[in-house]
Structure 1
C-alpha cells in the first residue's frame, strides 16, 4: 500500500474507525530480485501443452544425483568402488586388544507356542534351552514372527519409472550457498524400528519388546529390513544417498549381555555383510551402538511403577553392571568393524532412558571408556561421538531475564548433564547437582579422563520449546519433589506458543513443529557453548494424518519437503553467515517405521506397505536429494 503525504490526514481519520495492517518493520524483502521493474507487454502466440515441464527423471551417474535441465533422465547402474578406505586395524589385529577372545556360537529361533525347550542342553548356561528361556520368561503380548521372509532377499534393480521426479513446488529456497566438500548428508534409521526378526537367528530380548506399546504394536515385524537390507541399500543408492546410518542391537551380538558370554556368530556375520553392502553401493556407513534397545536383563526386575527422575523410562543404565557390560559389547563390535566404518555413535538420546542421575553418570563414564578404546587402543582414525535429544528451549520473552534463566536451566538439564564433562571436561551443572537425588560431582581425575571424549556434538533437533519462569519460582519448584509437581525436575514452564499466542511452527502428527529459524539459533548455541563440530544426527517430520491417506497423497508430502528444505537452508546460513561448523545432517527416517508404539506417526521419506513390504519413494526424498545435489561444491 502506498500512502501519499496529502492523504495522511484522511488516513488518520480512517484509522480512528478501523485498524490497518501496516508492518512496522517493512514488508518482506526480496534480495533475489535484482532487475528493475518493467511494464508487461501483452501479445498473442501459438498455444501448446509444452509450456510447463511435466516430467522430470533422475539420471544416476554416481552415488549423488547429477542434474541436467529439460532432458529425459533415466537410472543407470553404479559400479562398486574399486577400493575401500580403512579407518582402523582389521579384526585379525584388533581382536588382540581384548583381554580374552570371546567364544562364538549360534542359536535358533524362538517361535511362540511351538518352541519347545528340550532337555538335551539344559545344563549349558548359554545353550539353546537357556536362550529360548530368555524369551519365554518375557511373556510378550501380541508376539508373532509372521513376517514374509526368513532369509536374506537378493536385491533387484530399481525400475526407472520409480525415479520419475514429482512436480516441483511453486515456491522454493532462494539461497546461493553450497555445502562444504566434507559435509555429511545421509539418512538414518534404527534396528528396533525397521529390522524385525526380533527373536530370530539368536537375537536376545530387549526392553523395547516389553515397554513400547504392545497394545498398539500387533507384531514385531516392522519393515523386515533384517532380511531386506540388500534391496533397501540398493533403493537408497539409486536415490543418491551418500551416508547410511543404522544401529546394531546389543542383544543380537550378545544375547546373554554380560562379559564372558558367547557372541552370536550370525549377528556378527549379518552386520559384516550389511557394512559391505553399504560400501559396495558407494555409500558410507554410520553405526550407533545402542538406540534405546538395551538388553532386557538390566530391567527385568525393575519396578516400572516407580517414576523416573529424568527421561521417559529406564534403559537399565543405572544398573551397577551396565558400564562394564556396555564397554565389553562396544569393544567386540569395534574390533570387528572399526576398519570399515568412518563414524560411530555410542548412545542415542541417553537422557530419555537414563531414569536417574546414576543412569546418566554411567552413560558419561561408559561413553568415555569406549572413546579411549577406539582412539587410544585401536588407534582408529574415524570419528566417534554421542548424540542427544533436546527440543531447543527458547525463552518466551528473550528480553525477560527470568525467562532467559529458565531457558538456560532447561538446556543444562537436558544437555549439560552429559555435555559439560564430555565436551568441556567441566563439572555437572549446579542445576543438576542441586536438583537430582543422589547427584554428586566428578573428581578432577574423572573430569580429565572424560573431558574431550567426543569428536562431534550429535543432536536430534526436531523442534523447539518455548520456556518461561514458573510462577512459584525455580527454587520453590526444585524443593517440591513430589508426584503432584509436574514441572519437576526442569522446574520451568514449557509451551509451544510464543508470547503473542502463535504456534512456533506448523504442527505435525506429534510434538514436532517446523522451527527452522530456531534451528539456526540452536546450532549457534551448541557450537559456541560446547565448541565441537555439530552433527545433526536426526531431523524429520511426521505429516499430520499421513497414515490415513491414499498412497498417492502419502507420496506427495509437501509439508515434509518444506521441513527438510527449510532446515537445510538454515544449516547453510549457520555455516556461511554464523561461522558454525555443522558437520552434517541425517534425514529421519529412510522409511516409515515403527515409532515405539504404533505406525501412525510416519517420519519416512519412503512409504512402507506393511502387508506387502513394498517401499515407495516420497516427494520429500526427491526434493531432499535435489536440494543437496544442487548445493554440493564438488558432487561425487
Structure 2
C-alpha cells in the first residue's frame, strides 16, 4: 500500500507536468528568479585585500582528503564578468555572502575585530555592479566562514561561548551601516542546522567536533541570540534611515521533507514529525513562538538551553519573511524500528541520538544521482522527489501563514559534465512545485533562487557540481599551496539549464513542452552511500566532507 501510494503520488505529479501545455504557467512580474553563491565557495583571493583566515582555511588543511578554496572560482577578480553572465541568464536576484574575515580583522590589542576598508570596498563594488545591472542583491551575513581568531582567542571557542554574540552583532552592524541603503534582502545566517549539527555534533565540517551531548545545542542557542540581537539592531537602524524602508531580514533555514516510511504506523509518523522539529523547528520555533519545540524540550531535557529574562521575547518575531533552502525528501522511521537501516547505538551522541531517526530510505519515484556521479559520495543525498518540495514549503508556511517565503537555495548535485539533463529536469520539475505552491496552495512565495550560479567549492571538494555554469577547474584547484590561477583557467560554460532558466526568468512562464519531455525518466540507485555534511545528518559514516547553501 505504501509503495502504491508513493507511485501514484509521483505519477500524479508527472501528469500535472504534462498538462502544463494547456494552462498558463506564469509567475507575477515581481517574482524574483535568481541564483546564489557564498563567499568561501567562490571568491578565492584568500590572502588578498586584507582578508585573514577563517576556520575553513584551517579545517581544509588539517582534515585528510579535503581540498581548500584558496582560488575557488576566483570570483573576487572576475565578478564583473560574472555579473554580465547573470544578466545574460536573466537573473533578477543574486544571493551572496560576505566574508567576515575580509571586512574585519582581529586586533590583538583590543581583542576585537576591526573594519578592513579594502574588504568593505569590495562588497560595495559588487553590490553596485549588481544594482546597476538591475539585479537585486540578497546579502547573507554569515555563511560558515568564522574568522579563525574568534575560534581560538575567545574564552570559549566560537559559537560555544556567549562572547560571540557581541562580536557577531558588531559585524552585522558594520554591514547594516555600510550597505543598508543598497540592500533590501538580508539573512543573518545560512543553514544554522548545517554548520551547528555538522560542526559541533557530527564532526562533518569546521570545527569538526563530535561526541558531545551539549555542544550543538549550546552553539545553536548562541546563533539564535546573535540572530535576534542583529535583527533588533537592523530594526533600530531602519528608524534612523541607515537602512532603507523596504529592507527586510530573516534567517535561511534548510529543510528536506520527511515522509513516514509507513504512513499507517504511528511510530513512523512520529519519527517523521520528530525529524522535522529537530532539523527545522530547532531554529524556526524560537523565532515564531519564543521557545524550542516541545518535543525537543521533552527529549533533550536540561541539556537544551533556556531563554532567560527577555530573551524569549527578543527571539520571538525576529524575522520579516521566511527563507528556505531545500533539495531532497526522504522516508523516515525510528532508528529502533524493525525497518531501520541504522542501529541507534551507531548514531553520534547528542543531537543525532536525540533525534533518533533513520532517514536513509528512498521514496519510490525518486530520481537518483546523475549516472556519471554514481560513485561520488558528495552527491548521494541530493536525490529528487519534486512533490516533497511542495510539502516542505507547506510545512514552513503553516507556522506563519502571513509570512512571505523566499526560496533561497534549490538545485541538483551533478558531475563533471556540461550537458547535464538531470539538472535541467530538476529545475523544471521543482519550479512546477513552486508554481503549485503559489496558485493552488495560495502560499506567498516571492522568489526562487537556484543553487548555484557557478560550480563551486563544496566544503572539501570540487566534485559536486551544482552550477548553472560549468567551471573548468584545473588539477591545481583545491591545493592548499595554490593561489594564482591563470587567466585562461576557470572558464565559465553555460549548461542547458542556464539557457532554460534564462527563458523562464525573462518570460516569467514555464515552458510546458520542455517540462513534460523530461518528467518520466528515473535512475536506478547504486545503493546507499554517504552525503555532503551539510544535509546528511542521518548518515555518520562519510568518505569526504562537502556542502552546497
2: distance between equivalents of 1:25 and 1:594? Answer: 35
State the match for 2:527 in structure 1.
none
Question: What RMSD, in angstroms, separates the aligned Cα atoms of the two structures?
Answer: 3.2
C-alpha displacement at 1:394, in angstroms? Answer: 1.6
Give the 5 Å matches for 1:602-621.
602-611=465-474, 612-621=489-498
CA contact (8 A) 1:181 1:632 kept: no
Partner of 1:362: 222
Matched, 1:388 2:267: no
Partner of 2:456: 593
Q: Relative to total residues, which structure has the larger helix share, 1 or 2?
A: 2
Count of residue pairs the alignment pairs up: 450
Q: 1:328 aligns with which of 170, 175, 190?
A: 170
SS at 1:262 equivalent: strand
Flag structure 1 segments of 5+ consecutive residues without an equivalent: 1-22, 35-171, 303-313, 548-553
Alpha-carbon shift at residue 483 of structure 1 (Å): 5.2
Question: CA 1:615–1:432 in structure 2 vs 1: closer, same or farther (change >3 Å)?
Answer: farther
TM value normalised by structure 2: 0.75
After superposition, the Cα gap between the structure-2 partners of 1:622 and 1:293, relative to the gap in structure 1 and judged at 3 Å, is same
CA contact (8 A) 1:205 1:255 kept: no
**How far apart, CA to CA, are the structure 1 residues paired with 2:237 and 2:319?**
16
Q: Match for residue 467 of structure 1?
A: 332
**Structure 1 residue 573 displacement after superposition:** 0.6
Instruction: Give me the whole-angstrom Cα distance separating, in 2, the residues matched to 1:27 and 1:448.
Output: 46
The alpha-carbon distance between structure 1 residues 496 and 536, as it changes in their structure 2 partners (threshold 3 A), is farther
Cα deviation digits, residues 395-440 of structure 1 (max 9, x gap): 1122322111111111111111111111233444332453276313
Instruction: Check whether the contact 2:100–2:147 (CA below 8 A) recurs between aligned residues.
Output: yes
- Which of the residues 518, 522, 537 maps onto 2:388? 518
Cα distance in 1 for partners of 2:291, 2:350 equals 30
TM alignment of 1:73-92, pairs within 5 A: none
Q: Larger relative CO (CA 8 A, sep 6+): 1 or 2? A: 2
Q: Verify: 1:265 aligned to 2:136, yes or no.
A: no
From 443, 446, 450, give the equivalent of 1:580. 443
1:217 to 2:88 alignment: no
Q: Report the equivalent of 2:131.
A: 279
Structure 2 equivalent of residue 235 of structure 1? 85
Indicate whether 1:351 and 2:193 are aligned: yes
Are 1:191 and 2:39 counterparts? yes
Query: Is 1:533 equivalent to 2:533 in the alignment?
Result: no
Alignment partners' CA distance in 1, 2:451 and 2:9 = 36
Q: Deviations over 1:263-306 (max 9, x none)?
A: 1010111111111111111111111011011111233389xxxx
Instruction: Say if 1:516 and 1:566, in contact at 8 Å, map to a contact too.
Output: yes
Would you say the 8 A contact 1:175–1:569 is kept in 2? no
Call closer, same or farther: CA 1:230–1:487 in 2, change over 3 Å. Answer: closer
Tell me how far 1:33 sits from its aligned partner.
Answer: 9.2
Structure 1 residues 484 and 240: CA distance shift in structure 2, 3 A: closer
Aligned to 2:543: none
Q: Where does residue 340 of structure 1 map in the other structure?
A: 182
- Cα pair 1:193 1:596 within 8 Å, conserved: yes
C-alpha contact 1:186 1:586 (8 A) present in aligned 2: yes
SS in 1 for 2:90: coil
- Pairing partner for 1:566 from 426, 429, 433: 429
- For 2:236, the equivalent position in structure 1 comes to 376
- TM-score for both structures, normalised by structure 1: 0.65
Pairs within 5 Å for 1:477-516: 488-498=353-363, 502=364, 504-508=366-370, 509=373, 510=379, 511-516=381-386
Distance 1:378 1:614, change over 3 A: same
Which stretches in structure 2 are left out of the alignment for 5+ residues?
1-6, 201-215, 374-378, 475-488, 511-549
Q: Report the equivalent of 2:501.
A: 624
How far does the alpha carbon of each residue in 1:300-356 deviate from its partner, in whole angstroms, 9 at most, with x for none? 389xxxxxxxxxxx9932223111000000000110001010100100011122221
Does the 8 Å contact 2:46/2:70 carry over to 1? yes
Instruction: Indicate if the aligned counterparts of 1:427 and 1:447 stay in contact, CA closer than 8 A.
Output: no
Larger mean CA deviation between 341-350 and 202-211 belongs to 202-211
Cα distance per residue 1:199-232 (max 9 Å; x no partner): 2121111111122456442661111100111111
Name the CA distance, whole Å, in 2 between partners of 1:406 and 1:556.
39
Q: Is the 8 A contact 1:214 1:597 kept in 2?
A: no
Larger radius of gyration: 1
| In structure 1, distance between residues paired with 2:384 and 2:10 | 24
3-state SS of 1:197 partner: coil
2:284 matches 1:405? no
Instruction: Give the conservation status (yes or no) of the 8 Å contact 2:369–2:413.
Output: no
The separation in 1 between residues aligned to 2:76 and 2:31, in whole angstroms, is 29
User: Runs ≥4 in structure 1, deviation > 4 angstroms?
Assistant: 23-34, 172-175, 257-260, 477-487
Contact 2:260–2:332 under 8 Å retained in 1: yes
CA offset at residue 624 of structure 1?
1.7
